Amino acid sequence: MDNRPVLIFDGDDTLWRTMPLYDEAKRQFFHLMRKQGFAAEAVEEYFEERDRSNIKSLGFSRRRFGLSMLQTYRHFARVHRRPIKKSIDRQIIAIRNKIFEAQPTLAPFADAVLESLASRNRLVLLTKGTRSVQLRRVSSSGLRHFFERIFVVKDKNNATFKQLLHALKTKPSNAWSVGDSLRSDINPAIRRGLNAVWIPNRNWSYEEDVLLSSGRFYKVQSLRQIAGIINKIDK
């Protein structure tokens, strides 16, 4: 049995930056809605609530974000007694597609950190979203060869980490979850008894949570700090 520590890395906004892509998409969408004469603040508030609500049925799929924009547009068109324009629909879909066609920028030091960890640890990627999108991001990132296995899931919760540990044939105390989201990467891992390293980044409000108490939780400001923590603990 391979008893090396298992390091479970998140992808989006941990190893590569996707929030800037969503920020730009929302900027373009809100600008488009303002051009239609809809109040910016009301549009933004309605969109954020709709997008959060759509997670229940669509999770973190590619379809959800675009649908939330389309639903927001239709809502305000009805409120203002405007016809639904196919040209606006097409512009919204184009805005959505740019997010998933673009290659996110790698997080600073991502390549060097994974390379330094690969010889003494088992590296695994656990990322959520549409499988084809996530696999394309992994492939184009140049980081694919570092990972023993890649898991793409609809969401991350207690059951996700339980199933992952079983698949990897390792115990919780031998595994680490590394990510930027308290809600998805850190708290579910802590609940299952894993170690956790939190790298705070500006994130979607949905990912915010209250940190659970744990003796083997570490907060760092950069990926570069991870190797020192893990090497020290697992000696």
Place of tokens 């590569």: 16
Q: What local confidence, expressed as pLDDT, does residue 231 receive? A: 74
The answer to whether 32 and 88 are in contact (CB under 8 A) is: yes
Q: Tell me whether domains 6-17+104-233 and 19-101 share a fold.
A: no
Among 184, 207, 185, 210, CA closest to 196: 185
Place of tokens 């920020």: 23
Q: Helices marked H in 102-157 — which ranges?
A: 110-118, 131-141
CATH of 19-101, one of 3.40.50.720, 1.10.150.240, 3.40.50.1390, 3.40.190.10: 1.10.150.240
Q: Which residues pair with 226 in a beta bridge?
A: none
- Exposed e or buried b for every residue in 6-36, given b needs 16+ CB within 10 A? bbbbbbbbbbbbbeebeeebbebbbebbeee
The answer to whether 56 and 50 are in contact (CB under 8 A) is: no
Give the other-Cβ count within 10 Å of 89's Cβ.
15
Q: What local confidence, expressed as pLDDT, does residue 73 receive? A: 98
Q: What local confidence, expressed as pLDDT, does residue 39 receive? A: 96
Give the other-Cβ count within 10 Å of 110's Cβ.
21
Burial class (CB in 10 A: 0-12, 13-18, 19+), 86: exposed
Instruction: Kindly list the domain boundaries of the chain, sorted by start residue.
Output: 6-17+104-233, 19-101
Provide CATH code, domain 6-17+104-233: 3.40.50.1000
Place of tokens 């207690």: 158
235 residues of the chain, pLDDT tens digit each: 678 999 999 999 999 999 999 999 999 999 999 999 999 999 999 999 999 999 888 888 889 999 999 999 999 999 999 999 999 999 999 999 999 999 899 999 999 999 999 999 999 999 998 999 999 999 999 999 999 999 999 889 999 999 999 999 999 999 999 999 998 999 999 999 999 999 988 665 555 566 676 668 899 989 999 988 887 765 5
Q: What local confidence, expressed as pLDDT, does residue 202 receive? A: 67
Beta strands 149-153 and 122-128, pairing class: parallel
